[in-house]
Structure 1
Amino acid sequence: MRDHQSGHLALSRRHTLGLLVGGLATAATARAATPKAWAAVDQLGAATLADHLEPGFSLSVMKNGAFVYSKGFGFANLETRTPVSPTSVFRIGSVNKQFTAAALALLAEEGKLSFDDALAKYLPEFPRAADVTLRQMLNHTSGIGNYTNRVNPQDMLRAMRADYNSAELLKAMIEHTSPTFVFEPGTDWAYSNTAYVLLGLVIEKITGEAYAAHVKRRLFEPAGLTRTSVDSAAEIVPDRVSGYTSHPGSATEFDNAAYISMTYPGAAGAMRSTSEDLCRWHLALFGGKIIKPTSLEEMLKPGLLKNGQLPEVSRGPGPKKPLKYGFGLGISELDGRKMIAHSGGIPGFASLLTTLPDDHITVATIANTDDVMRGNFMARQQAVVDAAIRAALA
Structure 2
Amino acid sequence: MKKILFFVLAFSSFTFAQDKFTRIDSLLNYLNENNKFMGSLTIREGENVVFNKAYGFADVEKNIKADRLTRYKIGSISKTFTAVMVMQLIEEKKLTLQTKLARFYPKMANAEKISIYDLLHHRTGIVDFVNQDSTFHKVIDQKHSKEAILKVITAYKSNFEPGSKYEYSNSNYFILGCIIETLTKKSYAENLQNRIVKKAGLGTIEEKTEMTDKGAVTNKVFIPTTYYKEEATNTENKESFSYYFDGENWAKSYENHNSIAFSSGGLTSTPADLTKFIYALFDGKLVKPTSLDQMKEIKEGYGMALIQFPFGERRFYGHGGRIENFSSMLGYYPTEKLSFSLISNGDNYVQNDIIIGILSIYYKMPFPFPKFMKMDKAELAKFTGTYASKDIPLKITIAEKNGELSAQATGQGAFPLTFKEETTFVFAAAGIEMVFGENSFILNQGGMKYNFTKE
For the 8 Å contact 2:140–2:257, the answer to whether it is kept is yes
Matched, 1:277 2:270: no
TM superposition outliers: structure 1 runs of 4+ over 6 Å: none
- In 1, are the aligned partners of 2:233 and 2:239 still within 8 Å (CA)? no
TM-score if structure 2 supplies the norm length?
0.68
Contact conserved, 1:361 with 1:389, CA < 8 A, in 2?
no
Residues 207-260 of structure 1: CA deviation (Å, up to 9, x unaligned):
11111111111111111012000033347562111112343xx3x433211121
1:41 aligns with 2:24: yes
Aligned-partner Cα distance in 2 for 1:378–1:189: 25
Shift of 1:358: 1.1
Question: Does residue 376 of structure 2 align to residue 377 of structure 1?
Answer: no
1:86 corresponds to? 68
Q: Is 1:289 aligned with 2:280?
A: no
* Equivalent residue letter for 2:27: L
Matches within 5 A, 1:1-394: 1-2=1-2, 36-54=19-37, 56-150=38-132, 152=134, 155-175=135-155, 180-226=157-203, 227-234=225-232, 236=234, 238-247=237-246, 250=247, 252-303=248-299, 311=300, 323=301, 325-369=302-346, 374=348, 376-387=349-360, 389-390=362-363
Structure 2 equivalent of residue 21 of structure 1:
none
Give CA-to-partner distance per residue, 1:97-156, whole Å, 9 cap, x none.
Answer: 00000000000001110112111112223222112111111112222221122464xx33
**Structure 1 residues 218 and 72: CA distance shift in structure 2, 3 A:** same
TM-score with structure 1 setting the length:
0.78
| Alpha-carbon separation, structure 2, partners of 1:126 and 1:62 | 42
TM-superposed CA distance for 1:384, in Å, is: 4.1
Helix, strand or coil at the partner of 1:209: coil
Helix, strand or coil: the match of 1:69?
strand
Read off the aligned partner of 1:194 and give its amino acid letter: S
Give the Cα–Cα distance (whole angstroms) in 1 for the partners of residues 78 and 357 of structure 2.
Answer: 21
- Using the alignment, how far apart are the partners of 2:94 and 2:109 within structure 1? 23
Structure 2: distance between partners of 1:104 and 1:74: 36
CA pair 197-81 structure 1, distance change in 2 beyond 3 A: same
The structure whose RCO (Cα within 8 Å, separation 6+) is larger is 1
**Alpha-carbon separation, structure 2, partners of 1:380 and 1:161:** 31
- Residues in 1 aligned to 2:108 and 2:116: alpha-carbon distance in whole angstroms: 13
Q: Secondary structure at the match of 1:185?
A: coil
For each residue in 1:34-70, what CA deviation from the matched residue of structure 2 results, as whole angstroms up to 9, or x when unmatched? Answer: x71223312321232244233x110001002101111
Inter-partner Cα distance in structure 2 for 1:144 and 1:118: 14
Matches of 1:231 and 1:289, distance apart in 2: 25
Give the whole-Å Cα distance in 2 for the aligned partners of 1:381 and 1:198.
33
Distance 2:308 2:259 in 1: 29
Rounded to whole Å, the distance in 2 between the matches of 1:3 and 1:363 is 17
Q: Is the partner of 1:264 in helix, strand or coil?
A: helix
Larger radius of gyration: 2
- Unaligned ranges ≥5, structure 2: 5-17, 204-224, 366-455
CA distance in 1, matches of 2:362, 2:283: 19
Q: Judging changes above 3 Å, is the alpha-carbon distance between structure 1 residues 71 and 329 closer, same or farther for their aligned structure 2 residues? A: same
Residue by residue over 1:179-214, the C-alpha shift from the partner in whole angstroms, topping out at 9 and shown as x without a partner, is: x43322222211111111011111111111111111
Q: Which amino acid aligns with 2:2?
A: R
Distance 1:79 1:255, change over 3 A: same
Q: Give the superposed CA RMSD.
A: 2.2
Q: How many Å separate the matches in 2 of 1:95 and 1:295?
A: 18
Instruction: Give the Cα–Cα distance (whole angstroms) in 1 for the partners of residues 145 and 252 of structure 2.
Output: 26
Secondary structure (helix, strand or coil) at the match of 1:71 reads strand
CA offsets, 1:288-337, max 9 Å, x none?
1111111111111113xxxxxxx3xxxxxxxxxxx2x2111101332212
Alpha-carbon separation, structure 2, partners of 1:169 and 1:41: 43
Q: 1:112 to 1:367 in 2, by over 3 A?
A: same
Aligned pair count reads 330
Instruction: Report if the CA contact (8 A) 2:126-2:169 is conserved.
Output: yes
The answer to whether the Cα contact below 8 Å between 1:61 and 1:388 also exists between their aligned partners in 2 is no
Give a deviation string over 1:339-369, Cα, whole Å, max 9, x none: 1021100013111001111101100111113
Query: Structure 1: where are the runs of 5+ without partners?
Result: 5-34, 304-310, 312-322
- SS across alignment from 1:149: coil
Aligned with 2:130: secondary structure? coil
Which is worse superposed, 180-189 or 129-138?
Answer: 180-189
* Separation in structure 1 between the aligned mates of residue 254 and residue 233 of structure 2, nearest angstrom: 18
Greater strand share, 1 or 2? Answer: 2
In 2, Cα distance between the equivalents of 1:209 and 1:388?
44
